[in-house]
């Protein structure tokens, strides 16, 4: 999608965006933002307000670009709460990697220098790339994220404003006040007057936007099948788990409704609010564009029936790709149920115990062990074959030493090559980590026996699967689901 902001001369793109705004088409929410010169307000495309005249409209790729240009967020449609653009989850280039890192809070923790270092560029180059494509640099993008986090805390908690400013990452209360007034045209006190009654006990409750259609049932089933005892649970349409966050442990409880997700958080440090929300969105693939995916796959005769049966399928993600890699190693050559049992023992044996009220409600007891702990472990004491224990320690050591980058902004091709160079890691393991841990939408696990059998049964050749790019991960999930549903298995 080409960047479009003030000064662009692409009339055709402007006209196509304007048609979406005139139709109030919610499918484009999060893909771009509509700013109106005469009001100084920016909105989501589906805003119910009167459609502005074409000549008064400017389109921006990000809310941060609209902020930087002097526009304020619409009070009616709240454009800062839309799902994120799926483009940033899927793109493998430097801009896509940068956006994933910014959303994961890297600028807040390590500054622009830290972001640039992870990407392998200078700070100036990173700023130039982001500004050219999104109309805003990394500081402005991070500032927009801080403002959104602050609004969540102002409207859902009774925290003193000074504590909210600190938790959201602002350097001072004055900066916090100025930013909220500039972005939302309201003071923090005015925003708090709209506060919804929240739960007691220091929990945060917020609503996460979802693009339709949304296969909540299939997503919950997958998470339930892979849930590790003591670390995760699924019950009553709710997925809950303990998470290790930059400033301490937390509990994330996600209730999947048909058209939204209710997130309930208990955090040791409120500075982790934005990171917890972003990783929750990632694990549920909430920023996906299901219409684009279903349209692309549903036109292929080999997949049409499956896509029609399960519209809006999501790619289950991960709170931590390094954890996904280690869990995948444990699951090599064993059943999913067997891997869960072994992982439950590893978590109880080596994970840090956590005592939080939401954890107790869900029967959660321990965090997943750190890579540092697993890197130093004696494979002899692990409840698995010695060779697999050695592979587990090898992968953990590579991550701990920084040799294997599995962070949100990792270069996927480089990560795959590094994993394949490790003893005990083959193509299936590396590709599965890319798909679930790093959110790669275009991985087809052709070495998976179940998937290979299903492809052969349908007469699908390797050349044919090229038609499914860049959504082969979703195609593979449809085929897996078909092969493992009893009534669909061929005699």
Domain 285-491 in CATH: superfamily?
A: Hypothetical protein; domain 2 (1.10.340.30)
| Confidence at residue 3, expressed as pLDDT on a 0 to 100 scale | 40
Residue 254 contacts by C-beta under 8 Å, 6 or more apart in sequence?
208, 238, 239, 240, 261, 262, 263, 264, 280, 283, 284
| Confidence at residue 202, expressed as pLDDT on a 0 to 100 scale | 59
Cross-sheet strand order for the sheet of 33-36: 57-60, 33-36, 41-43, 72-73
Asked whether the beta carbons of 473 and 480 are under 8 A apart, the reply is no
Pick the CATH number of 11-67 from 1.10.357.10, 3.30.1300.10, 3.40.640.10, 3.40.10.10: 3.40.10.10
Task: Kindly report the pTM of this predicted structure.
Answer: 0.90
| Confidence at residue 81, expressed as pLDDT on a 0 to 100 scale | 83
Q: Where are the domains of the chain?
A: 11-67, 87-192, 285-491
Q: Give the chain's residues under pLDDT 50.
A: 1-9, 199-201, 486-491
DSSP state of 299: T
Give the DSSP H or E segment for 94: helix 94-103
Asked whether the beta carbons of 265 and 250 are under 8 A apart, the reply is yes
Can you tell me the distance from the alpha carbon of 404 to that of 103, in angstroms, rounded to the nearest whole number? 21
| Confidence at residue 488, expressed as pLDDT on a 0 to 100 scale | 38
Asked whether the beta carbons of 76 and 49 are under 8 A apart, the reply is yes
10 catalytic, yes or no? no
Active-site annotation holder among 77, 285, 448, 463: 448
CATH class of 87-192: mainly alpha
Asked if the bond preceding 429 is cis, omega within 30° of 0, the reply is no
Instruction: Return the closest-CA partner of residue 56 out of 79, 38, 74.
Output: 38
Long-range contacts of 376-382 (CB under 8 A, 24+ apart): 377/350, 381/349, 382/346
Tens digit of each residue's pLDDT (9 = 90 or more) over 109-134? 999 999 999 999 999 999 999 999 98
Distance of CA 264 to the CA centre of its chain: 16
| Confidence at residue 197, expressed as pLDDT on a 0 to 100 scale | 54
Angle at 280 between CA 276 and CA 284, to 5 degrees: 175
DSSP state of 84: P
Active-site annotation holder among 43, 47, 74, 77: 43
| Confidence at residue 8, expressed as pLDDT on a 0 to 100 scale | 42
43 catalytic, yes or no? yes
Instruction: Return the closest-CA partner of residue 326 out of 400, 242, 409.
Output: 400
- Counting every residue, how long is the chain? 491
């Amino acid at each position: 999608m080409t960047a479009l902001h003030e000064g662009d001369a692409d009339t055709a793109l402007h006209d196509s965006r304007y048609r979406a705004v005139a139709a109030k088409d919610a499918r484009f929410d999060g893909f771009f933002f509509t700013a109106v010169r005469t009001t100084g307000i920016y909105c989501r495309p589906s805003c119910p307000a009167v459609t502005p005249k074409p000549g008064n409209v400017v389109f921006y790729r990000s809310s941060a670009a609209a902020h930087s240009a002097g526009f304020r967020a619409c009070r009616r449609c709240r454009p800062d709460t839309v799902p994120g653009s799926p483009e940033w989850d899927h793109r493998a280039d430097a801009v896509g990697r940068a956006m994933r890192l910014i959303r994961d809070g890297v600028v807040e923790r390590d500054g622009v220098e830290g972001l640039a270092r992870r990407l392998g560029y200078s700070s100036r180059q990173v700023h130039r790339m982001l500004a050219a494509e999104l109309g805003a640099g990394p500081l402005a993008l991070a500032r927009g994220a801080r403002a959104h986090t602050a609004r969540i805390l102002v409207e859902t908690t009774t925290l003193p404003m000074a504590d909210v400013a600190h938790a959201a990452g602002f350097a001072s209360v004055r900066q916090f006040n100025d930013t909220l007034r500039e972005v939302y045209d309201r003071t923090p006190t005015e925003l708090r007057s709209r506060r919804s009654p929240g739960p007691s006990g220091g929990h945060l409750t917020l609503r996460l936007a979802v693009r339709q259609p949304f296969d909540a049932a299939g997503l919950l089933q997958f998470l339930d099948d892979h849930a590790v005892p003591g670390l995760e649970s699924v019950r009553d349409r709710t997925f809950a788990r303990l998470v290790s966050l930059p400033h301490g442990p937390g509990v994330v409880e996600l209730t999947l409704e048909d058209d939204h997700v209710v997130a309930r958080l208990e955090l040791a440090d409120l500075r982790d609010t934005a990171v917890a929300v972003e990783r929750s969105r990632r694990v549920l693939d909430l920023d996906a564009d299901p219409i684009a995916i279903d349209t692309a796959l549903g036109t292929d005769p080999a997949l049409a029936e499956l896509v029609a049966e399960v519209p809006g399928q999501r790619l289950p993600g991960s709170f931590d790709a390094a954890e996904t890699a280690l869990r995948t190693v444990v699951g090599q050559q064993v059943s999913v149920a067997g891997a869960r049992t072994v992982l439950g023992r590893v978590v109880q044996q080596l994970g840090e115990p956590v005592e939080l009220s939401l954890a107790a409600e869900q029967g959660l007891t321990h965090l997943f062990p750190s890579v540092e702990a697993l890197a130093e472990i004696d494979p002899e004491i692990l409840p698995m074959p010695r060779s697999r224990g050695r592979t587990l320690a090898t992968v953990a050591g590579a991550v701990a030493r920084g040799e294997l980058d599995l962070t949100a902004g990792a270069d996927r091709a480089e990560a795959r090559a590094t994993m394949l160079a490790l003893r005990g890691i083959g193509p299936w393991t590396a590709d599965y980590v890319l798909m679930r841990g790093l959110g790669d939408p275009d991985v087809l696990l052709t070495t998976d026996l179940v998937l290979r059998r299903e492809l052969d049964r349908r007469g699908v050749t390797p050349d044919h699967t090229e038609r499914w790019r860049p959504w082969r991960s979703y195609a593979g999930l449809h085929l897996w689901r078909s092969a493992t549903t009893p009534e669909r298995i061929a005699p």
